[in-house]
Structure 1
């Protein structure tokens, strides 16, 4: 293949990171279920531990199957490097770890997955970090929230649960002006629908558990670095811009340039935090990604049809799907998600909390689970589950009010999905 030809997304989702196994010729990436890897000699071992040579040491750090997955997602996101880890929550901590320190804060969107809000508002306090939550539709408020201790800005491309679309270029411009990175969770959109790096993001995180795997079998996370941020531009990121004692004074930013963040995440982050992805899980996700574009096209088509039907049903108060012309986020689709607004959204049921609970209990085709991005249609009442730990005000800001249910529309026949919702709504609002 000519080096000057850029491969299409549909080709990369199959071939990126997946060369035939050199030992056996196996076409599919093998599951390298091995804890450790044999060194050629003492010099080889020393070079690996000194970061003077790239290779495999121990599967907590790197593993060939996991590395193949990281390479594939990196290609799809258009990044310089990436790592995979044990879950989406692990990916968020891995993304923040090289950036933060005691007393530092992250400015985060109010429109986030409930577990992320809890992680950022409560758990990271144990590291001495903090978070400021701001409505990212108010760009002036985002800029005003950034102070001398802010080390990152965090949002979701398509926010969970409401399916709200973030104006990534506008937020990226604010972060750039402040000299700090923008981290975008691209789980709900996937790189097929949205390319945050192209829109100005520094880092992209994923719960690979969701659409990338697509079949509800394994958990995983990924962090992809754009390679475009200059970590040496100021003294805010000493982990990357100052000598690292554990590696004889190596300065990651100076020595490794665009790969500084990725190598630090492996050599320090995975080494010490141990948030390792299982190679068998990586294998499942590699296979899932091979059909990503096909699935996402079907997800989007189904979601638009189902959301339109719901919006026109008298038993529904409102639908938050950004693909509807009535949505305040409809105008962002062409710029942020040109291939569609995803398949995640909420709708409010007349009858409030009780009607939502009856709806969930009455569905037959939908699965009532705390997940999204499966081939199957999924539903959950966020206020009593995924967003239960939040205050009523936080639930409202996140789009998870008590009268709302979240749906992740699958790739079944759209008319069958609608029929199931119809019969359940009849029971729920009787």
Structure 2
């Protein structure tokens, strides 16, 4: 086939990483439901375990179905390589694991998915890592938070739950000056709407559970490496630049170059952390990705219609959708996400917390679930669910105040979605 990097985005959605199965001619990527693989001989096995040859050993590390998905995601994001894993949270650990040591810190946006805030602020402490939360719109504050122990900057391209858009090139410039990578969670935008690597990001992570799969059937995560960072430029990243004892002193960056982070993610990360993506989940995700462009177009169109209606409703205090001209992120969204601002946003009810709860209890088409990016429209009250573990101050900072409802707009008929919200708002007011 033509070099995949030269193919158009929509062609990559269907063909990147996949070709007819050489044994059977199967056109769709088969589900290789196997734990292990037969070696040709003893020398072949030794070469695989020594990282001298690329191949399949054990499905905790590598699997042909998962490998096809990894190749597709690397192509879609414009990266050198990718590592799939069991969830978006697993992808975040996989991204930071080679970079961090006890005593190190990551400077993180304070507008994040509530589970990520909890992971960063609580669980990371058990590793001896520190997360420093800052408002990434305040670039001086970001720069001031960085010190000699900072190993990365972390943000979301479009922040969950409020749909706030991050100035990725500005953060990338700060990361470059500090000699550290910028990690961007691109879950809400997807590579159809935003290409963080082209805007300066070093690493990109996704919860593939969301828009990439698109149908709420499986969980999965992926880490994509740009392949452009010089891991040997300083002594900050010994996992990648220094000899690795488990592989007889092999230096990942010296040996694998642009693929160093990807090989480390598999050979060390998946080997020891075990956050494996199962092949059936990879298969579902591959099928979902095939229609990503079509779905994202409809998601964005519907979101504009629903958000515009909500903004005009007298029962609504404000709407956070960056696709509205009234949004302070509108101009930035056109620059960072030129094809649309995705379909995740929040709105505040003037009647407060209790009205939010009544609204959710009375919707009929919207599904009340803790997910986003489904073909179905979804609704949730973040303060009492996904952001429940946070203090009220943290909830407000994250865009999940008690009087706020989060919507993930699906691909149904937009007029039906508006009618559903209207009747539920009426009942909430009553």
TM-score (normalizing by structure 2)? 0.99
3-state secondary structure, aligned to 2:34: coil
Contact 2:4 2:12 in 1 (8 A): no
1:311 matched to 2:311: yes
Cα offsets for 1:360-381 (capped at 9, x unmatched): 0000000000000000000000
- SS of the aligned residue for 2:222 comes to strand
Alignment gaps of 5+ in structure 2: none
Q: CA deviation at 1:334?
A: 2.1
* Counterpart-to-counterpart distance in 2, 1:334 and 1:254: 39
Deviation at 1:350, TM superposition (A): 1.7
Alpha-carbon distance between aligned partners in 2 of 1:369 and 1:340, rounded to the nearest angstrom: 24
Stretches of structure 1 lacking an aligned partner (at least 5 in a row) = none
Structure 2 residue matching 1:371: 3-state secondary structure:
coil
Q: Is the 8 A contact 1:12 1:72 kept in 2?
A: yes
**C-alpha distance in 2 between matches for 1:133 and 1:408:** 25
Tell me how far apart the structure 2 counterparts of residues 21 and 234 of structure 1 sit (CA, whole Å). 43
TM-superposition CA deviations, 1:291-311 (whole Å, max 9, x none): 000000000000000000000
Deviations 1:374-401, CA, capped at 9 Å, x for gaps: 0000000000000000011110110000
**2:399, 2:5 → 1: CA distance?**
43
The 5 Å alignment of 1:293-304 reads: 293-304=293-304
State the match for 2:215 in structure 1.
215
Q: Output aligned runs, 1:3-402, within 5 Å.
A: 3=3, 6-402=6-402
Query: Residues 83 and 8 of structure 1: is their aligned pair in 2 closer, same or farther, counting only changes over 3 Å?
Result: same
Question: In structure 1, how many angstroms separate the alpha carbons of the residues matched to 2:75 and 2:5?
Answer: 14
Deviation at 1:3, TM superposition (A): 4.5
Report if the CA contact (8 A) 1:118-1:389 is conserved: yes
Cα distance in 2 between the residues matched to 1:8 and 1:408 = 28
Instruction: Indicate if the aligned counterparts of 1:83 and 1:222 stay in contact, CA closer than 8 A.
Output: yes
CA separation of 1:121 and 1:69: change in aligned 2, threshold 3 A: same
Q: 1:5 to 1:207 in 2, by over 3 A?
A: closer
| Aligned-residue RMSD, C-alpha | 0.8
Q: Where does structure 1 differ by over 2 angstroms across 4 or more consecutive aligned residues?
A: 1-5
The answer (yes or no) to whether the contact 2:161–2:400 under 8 Å persists in 1 is yes
CA contact (8 A) 2:310 2:319 kept: yes
How many residues align? The count is 430
Deviations 1:69-89 (A, max 9, x none): 111011000000000000000
CA distance in 2, matches of 1:3, 1:267: 27
- Secondary structure in 1 matching 2:249: coil
Q: Deviations over 1:206-255 (max 9, x none)?
A: 00000000000000000000000000000000000100000000000111
What is the SS of the residue equivalent to 2:13? helix
Return the TM-score normalized by structure 1. Answer: 0.99
Pick closer, same or farther for the CA change 1:181–1:210 going to 2, 3 Å: same
Paired residues of 1:65 and 1:282 also in contact (CA < 8 A): yes
Structure 1 residues 290-334: Cα deviation after superposition (integer angstroms, max 9, x where no partner)? 000000000000000000000000010000000011111001122
Q: Say if 1:350 and 1:429, in contact at 8 Å, map to a contact too.
A: no
1:5 Cα shift? Answer: 7.9
1:405 aligns to what?
405
